[in-house]
Amino acid sequence: MDPIFSLIERTPAFAVLSSDIGGGRLGHAYLFAGDEVSAEAIMLLGAARALCPEGGCQKCATCRRILAGIHPDVLSFPEGGKYTAEGMEALIAEIYRRPTEGEKKFLLLKGADSMNLTCQNKFLKTLEEPPGDCHLFLGAAREDALLPTVRSRVRRLEIPPFSAEQLLPFARAVCRPEEAELFAALGQGSPSEVRKLAEGRGRELFELALTLLNRCRKVEDAAYFSGELAARKEDFLPLCDILSLLLSDALKEHCGAEGQIKGLTAEQNRWKKQFSNAALAEIIRVIKDCRKRLTYNAGFAYTADALLFALVRGRS
């Protein structure tokens, strides 16, 4: 089974949805508040729970078609990746069309928080009086982007962030083996974040972190990297996360324990021998300090330099 489904199946949100379905209390509209990947998974699992003759076995033909997104009574929106006025007309028409195979149909509105106000208003009418056989599932990471009138007409179920440990099986499915633990730890509890990291940005930041550890040796290097970091301010905090993980791994390895990030090449690990334990601990402390400074709105250049100079000092 796809690890995202086994992760979502164990959430309180799914337990509530499942008990609504099992108890014959399935409402006509739900809002799943959570990251995109989780929201999509719970919508598919909910539809499978309701339409599968076995109550969502995830093995039968019905479940398989639903989870693969090809069941005619479980339709995903928006088509083309974006909610538009014409798209909303089609969506509303679909709400009033009878189910093809059974008694119920499900419309899954992914990223409902990306609907503009015109689209939300168009949609609102159908939320007031939807036909009995159609159930609307909305997914939203940013609930405040939804009109209060939309929010008041849906049953809200929240999918809170997961722990790194819970995310690991999902990370293993979407990341390269050597990156799974790293990205599970860096994903801030969100499967969508883990996927984003796996799709590129994470790898790039990981390379940058290793470059800093291997190459920021002299004051001139620090000055050079200072410019690099200033050009990508939004990456600074995730970069700090990666650096902290790598540095504490080096500390652990120096003490004979196993680090979290495995599978690095000798070249990628070269810096580890160049820092003493005291230096590693000091850089980790400086990174914590940088993070605190940024939350208090300290100047970016000043903060980034503190980190770079800590790397230079750590070697001497």
Q: How far is the CB of 103 from Zn ion (least distance, A)?
A: 16
The answer to whether the CB of 9 falls within 8 A of the CB of 45 is: yes
Q: Measured from the CB atom, is 57 or 237 closer to Zn ion?
A: 57
Determine the Cα–Cα distance for residues 260 and 213; give it in Å rounded to an integer. 17
Q: How far is the CB of 185 from Zn ion (least distance, A)?
A: 34
Instruction: Indicate the residue type of 183.
Output: F
* E strand map for 43-133: 74-77, 105-109
Query: What is the dihedral angle through the alpha carbons of 231, 188, 9, 136, rounded to the nearest 10 degrees?
Result: -50
Q: Measured from the CB atom, is 52 or 251 closer to Zn ion?
A: 52
Q: How far is the CB of 51 from Zn ion (least distance, A)?
A: 8
Q: How far is the CB of 60 from Zn ion (least distance, A)?
A: 3
Determine the Cα–Cα distance for residues 314 and 282; give it in Å rounded to an integer. 8
Determine the Cα–Cα distance for residues 236 and 230; give it in Å rounded to an integer. 9
Q: Measured from the CB atom, is 52 or 286 closer to Zn ion?
A: 52
Q: Write 246-254 long-range contacts (CB < 8 A, 24+).
A: 246/209, 246/210, 246/213, 247/213, 247/275, 247/280, 247/283, 247/284, 247/287, 248/280, 248/284, 250/275, 250/280, 251/277, 251/280, 251/281, 251/284, 254/280
Q: Measured from the CB atom, is 60 or 312 closer to Zn ion?
A: 60
Q: Measured from the CB atom, is 48 or 205 closer to Zn ion?
A: 48
Phi-psi region of 188 (alpha: psi -120 to 50; beta: other; left: phi over 0): left
Q: How far is the CB of 22 from Zn ion (least distance, A)?
A: 14
Q: Measured from the CB atom, is 18 or 188 closer to Zn ion?
A: 18
Q: Please count the residues of the chain.
A: 316
Q: Measured from the CB atom, is 54 or 89 closer to Zn ion?
A: 54
Instruction: For residue 94, give the 3-state DSSP assignment.
Output: helix
Given CA atoms 301, 303, 307, 313 in this order, what sign does their dihedral have? positive
Q: How far is the CB of 57 from Zn ion (least distance, A)?
A: 4
Q: How far is the CB of 4 from Zn ion (least distance, A)?
A: 17
Q: Measured from the CB atom, is 66 or 180 closer to Zn ion?
A: 66
Provide the CA 79 distance to its chain's centre, in angstroms.
22
| Angle at 249 (CA atoms; ends 246, 252), nearest 5 degrees | 160
Which positions touch Zn ion (CB under 5 A)? 52, 54, 57, 60, 63
